[in-house]
Amino acid sequence: MDGKFFRSGSQRVWMKAVTYGPFPGGWPADFAPDFSKMVAAGFNAIRLYEMPDRKLLDAATDHGLKVFGGLKWGQNVDFISAPCVYSAARVSLQNSLGQVAAHPAMAGVYVGNEIPSDLVRWMGPVKVRQAIEELIVLGKEVSPHLMFAYANYPSTEYLEPGNADFTAFNVYLEGEAAFQSYLRRLHHIAGDRPLVISEFGLDSRRNGTHAQAETLAWGLQAASDFETAGMTVYAWSDRWWNAGAEVLDWDFGLLDREGDEKTAFTSVGNSPLLRPVAAGPLVSVIVCTRNGVARIGRCLDALRRMVDPQIEVIVVDDGSVDGTGELVIVKFPWVRLLQLKAAGLSAARNAGAAMAGGEIFAFTDDDCEPDQEWISRIRPLFMDSIHQAACGPNLPPAPRTWQEAVVCAAPGAPSHVMLDDVEAEHLPGCNLVVTKSAFEAVGGFDPEFRTAGDDVDFCWRLRDAGFRLGFMPGAFVWHWRRPSLAAFLRQQRGYGKAERLLMAKHPERFSRSGETQWRGFIYGGGPVTVTEDSIIYHGHMGNAGYQAISNRMLPLRALDPRFSNLFSQTALRLIQFLQPRLRAWTRNHRILLWNTEFKPQIESPPEDFRLPSDHALDREGILTHLIENGWRPASPHAGWDVGKGADKILIAIEKGDKGSTLLLRIWGNPPELQRVILRAGLL
């Protein structure tokens, strides 16, 4: 992984993959014909739905293809209630990795694929997420050099595993604008990590071969333009085997059932087009530093590697006494250096802007290492004249010590705040790009803010002046966090002091208790995933195609597993307790006590029933019958489907190679509900 992208060795690569198999009759006798065609169509990776054998991997190596294996297991049944199913999955993963993980063609493993939303709701979303994460933990223990992920889909958008190496989504949207919009959303769900579209395709049987070709072409282009790490075309062939039988009623392949190329094969081979670095006005990168001799070198080395030619770099030395200015002069003579008496961060940023020659100002800090494509990726956002300021993520590099690991996982780090998937409410100063005209219109930064809070005040004034703030997920900077817990707590005290100034200047943006009243969602770098207190939008009787977490929350980064032990976990819990209280006390001398949580009324436990596969298993028909008999659909956020008085029912379907099973969970009066079900013709 390379920030929000992938790399191979030292070279950043965009993954263009295609799904392969399973086929009726098993693998072909010779992989060379298929793999040669894949390479001709520009593919550099293949995705499987089972773990490969060495013959397939050898052929992939011969053709320069990387392989993402898939763990095949009983994920379409209630594996929480049947531990043997899950245990078999663990054994299968460990055994298969032992056989093929060391092969040079292996790149990663999907530990699961689209666990059905009704089953996830039945088993419990948190339990399912934890099961996925445990498989990933096992995979990394056995094969730490591989990448591991779960292939999610919109109907369980909330099910992102916290420890996956990248976020993967199977997305089938037939409208280009809708697909682009959902890509923006998925970047926020992914947090810091790369985003991969793990399936995308169109059925040519129902839509025609030309529509399939056009859809795959714009889909690949959108995935590239909207900064995913890769795209997976579904599928290689119309021949496909599923649930113990050949699938004959759809045709998603690039090749037909006779192995001939369809129109889509050519369109995929011509996509995506590589966009040249956008030309545009000069961008002035402004780095402010004070006593940063130990940090500024890495920052400037990173800026020297920028691929965008239309930039200048300005370093503002705000009264350093450690030789920072001299270092810049000697080692970085191409940098424009401005040395000041110590006046504070805002004054230094304003001074840098005053000497800048660009029409766009890009601010970062001396403890940041901007990605080589930082400016080239954020520049297009200013081409449409809609946004006047923007940012991308600020990602912490891999921690070097347990204290750095704890700080990376702690709350309180610089974060962007999003009003929706496009519009930002706040941009952190370590990655803040603004047009010169907007900067001057609001008078730059307020010198009253000497160490922190300047970016918050600046963004609020930009928005109050009618300017729009945007976000580009691929325009990231590496941002080193504080190296020790003591330094982190000192930083949080500084943030509290800055918030005191913000309260005095913007009292309408704070609650009576002194908490900042953000309108948007604060992103803390971790994936947006389900927790015990999450509120999930399931839709009408659990049938929503897009089911997401609807409460606002701060998804934090997980503790780095290399440093995750009882000691560091305890330290993290202590920091999580101290951080908001320290800031609150510094901000307005307010002591935060423990939150008093609402304790729901304890209700009788439900009873579960399983109906054998020879009964009618139409979930929608059952729900329709119940509604016709006076039952009412639950709210879109409830954990059951329909209710009547104190009685409630949740319905799910298990699917396997040997048939299906209906699952019923009943709260209330089971004998009465059994009679209702009997009248429905199910028992």
Per residue in 404-421, pLDDT tens? Answer: 999 999 999 999 999 999
* CB 262, CB 209: distance < 8 Å: yes
For residue 250, count CB atoms less than 10 angstroms from its CB and return exposed for 0-12, middle for 13-18, buried for 19 or more.
Answer: middle
Beta strand pairing call for 311-318 and 336-340: parallel
Can you read off the two tokens belonging to residue 122? 């039945």
Helix (H) or strand (E) holding 661: strand 659-667
For the chain, how many structural domains are there in total?
A: 3
Q: How far apart are CA 353 and CA 127, in angstroms?
A: 51
CA atoms within 13 A on the CB side of 501: 18
pLDDT score, position 644: 86
- Answer whether residue 481 shows pLDDT above 70: yes
pLDDT score, position 278: 64
Taking residues 154-167, report their average pLDDT. 96
* CB 225, CB 275: distance < 8 Å: yes
583 lies in the same domain as 621: no
pLDDT score, position 93: 98
Helix (H) or strand (E) holding 654: strand 647-656
Can you read off the two tokens belonging to residue 625? 């019958």
Q: Specify the higher pLDDT residue, 57 or 246.
A: 57
Dihedral Cα 98, 99, 102, 103, nearest 10 deg = -160
Q: How far apart are CA 216 and CA 19, in angstroms?
A: 14
Which residues in 43-56 are b (16+ Cβ under 10 Å) and which e?
bbbbbbbebbeeeb
pLDDT score, position 680: 55
252 lies in the same domain as 381: no
What would the pLDDT profile of 107-154 be if each residue is shown by its tens digit? 999 999 999 999 999 999 999 999 999 999 999 999 999 999 999 999
Query: How many helices and strands in the chain, by DSSP H and E?
Result: 20, 30
What would the pLDDT profile of 34-77 be if each residue is shown by its tens digit? 999 999 999 999 999 999 999 999 999 999 999 999 999 999 99
Q: How far apart are CA 458 and CA 658, in angstroms?
A: 62
Can you read off the two tokens belonging to residue 538? 């399931």
* CB 163, CB 137: distance < 8 Å: yes
pLDDT confidence band for 598 (50 / 70 / 90): very low
Q: What are residue 195's DSSP bridge partners? A: 167
Query: Does residue 639 belong to any structural domain of this protein?
Result: yes
210 lies in the same domain as 294: no
Taking residues 436-462, report their average pLDDT. 96
Q: Specify the higher pLDDT residue, 288 or 385.
A: 288
CA dihedral (582, 587, 589, 595) positive or negative: negative
Query: Does residue 109 belong to any structural domain of this protein?
Result: yes
176 lies in the same domain as 110: yes
Could you say which of 214, 245, 269 is where a domain stops?
269
Range of lowest pLDDT (166-170, 432-436, 580-584): 580-584
166 lies in the same domain as 314: no
Query: Does residue 68 belong to any structural domain of this protein?
Result: yes
Query: Does residue 25 belong to any structural domain of this protein?
Result: yes
Q: How far apart are CA 457 and CA 459, in angstroms?
A: 6
pLDDT score, position 500: 93
239 lies in the same domain as 292: no
CATH number for the domain spanning 317: value is 3.90.550.10
Q: How many CB atoms lie within 10 A of CB 26?
A: 9
Range of lowest pLDDT (335-339, 594-598, 609-613): 594-598
DSSP state of 634: P
Residues above pLDDT 90, as percent of the chain: 77
* CB 463, CB 469: distance < 8 Å: yes
Taking residues 275-302, report their average pLDDT. 91
CA atoms within 13 A on the CB side of 615: 17
Range of lowest pLDDT (142-156, 442-456, 515-529): 515-529
Nearest of 575, 570, 539, 536 to residue 556 by alpha carbon: 575
Q: How far apart are CA 485 and CA 572, in angstroms?
A: 10
Taking all residues of the chain, what is their mean pLDDT, rounded to a whole number?
A: 91
Expressed as residue numbers, the domain containing 53 is: 15-269
Length of the chain: 683
Per the listing, tokens 């519009």 go with 423
Q: How far apart are CA 437 and CA 430, in angstroms?
A: 20
Query: Does residue 3 belong to any structural domain of this protein?
Result: no
Can you read off the two tokens belonging to residue 106? 């292996």
Can you read off the two tokens belonging to residue 31? 């992989």
Q: How far apart are CA 255 and CA 263, in angstroms?
A: 9
58 lies in the same domain as 134: yes
Could you say which of 227, 247, 269 is where a domain stops?
269
92 lies in the same domain as 237: yes
CATH number for the domain spanning 37: value is 3.20.20.80
261 lies in the same domain as 395: no
381 lies in the same domain as 310: yes
Query: Does residue 4 belong to any structural domain of this protein?
Result: no
Taking residues 354-365, report their average pLDDT. 97
Taking residues 445-468, report their average pLDDT. 95
Q: Specify the higher pLDDT residue, 655 or 176.
A: 176
Q: How far apart are CA 640 and CA 647, in angstroms?
A: 10
Q: How far apart are CA 586 and CA 575, in angstroms?
A: 16
364 lies in the same domain as 425: yes
* CB 479, CB 430: distance < 8 Å: yes
Phi and psi angles of residue 193, each rounded to the nearest 5 degrees, phi first? -90, 165
Phi and psi angles of residue 675, each rounded to the nearest 5 degrees, phi first? -65, -40
Range of lowest pLDDT (84-98, 411-425, 489-503, 578-592): 578-592
Query: Does residue 6 belong to any structural domain of this protein?
Result: no
Q: How far apart are CA 426 and CA 414, in angstroms?
A: 10
pLDDT score, position 599: 44
578 lies in the same domain as 438: yes
pLDDT score, position 601: 47
Contacts of 127 (CB under 8 A, 6+ apart): 80
Nearest of 220, 161, 162, 229 to residue 195 by alpha carbon: 229
* Span between the terminal Cα atoms of the chain, in Å: 53
Query: Does residue 544 belong to any structural domain of this protein?
Result: no
